[in-house]
Structure 1
């Protein structure tokens, strides 16, 4: 996935994830790997994205699905709604936006 990221990709992660600080915006492929991808196995067991549908329009691709796994801190299994909106330009990912039910994931809901 890093290979298709624009050098200045803007990645918006849903606030509420335990590893997200501030407003959840990360810029650049290496920052995405370090601050978004790397913490996932530290926080979750069996984390998966269960894709239900893809939609495309113009430069946007929308994924609707579920995040599943076990939150290590509580041992709680979760299945949370998620939507990803990706913007592409010249074959590169320039913008990623995530809306996820983080309350379901951390058991706050």
Structure 2
């Protein structure tokens, strides 16, 4: 399976709540760079290690969002570097406001595993009242 297929399966696993499946495509020491515009992001938004990402990023999604979804429009396949282009949708719990925000993810792969993730998202479209 190529990197693009691995990534597409990861998004399918995330959408279905299969976090174990998501993690199977990540290197255990993945470097994760979360958008610093979100209130739950600490310091520079950089997290290292799959379990750290689960504990300090993914586990917080239900705390801050209702019905959070990633709508994928396209992938730009550069082999070991792939960009996802899409939207985040859901409700920001702090305000009860529904949102649709632009989002891109840049993934870097090494030996068939995601080793780096970089998020760019319109956090203002999500959290502003």
Tell me if both proteins adopt one fold, taking TM over 0.5 as the criterion.
Answer: yes
Question: 1:4, 1:27 → 2: CA distance?
Answer: 15
Partner SS, residue 17 of structure 1: coil
User: Which residue matches 2:88?
Assistant: 67
Cα RMSD for the two superposed structures:
0.9
| Deviation sequence 1:37-60 (CA, Å, 0-9, x none) | 000000000000000101111311
Q: Which of 11, 27, 30 in structure 2 is aligned with 1:9? A: 30
Output aligned runs, 1:1-109, within 5 Å.
1-107=22-128
Q: How many residues align?
A: 108
Structure that is richer in helix per residue: 2
Moved over 6 A (4+): none
Structure that is richer in strand per residue: 1
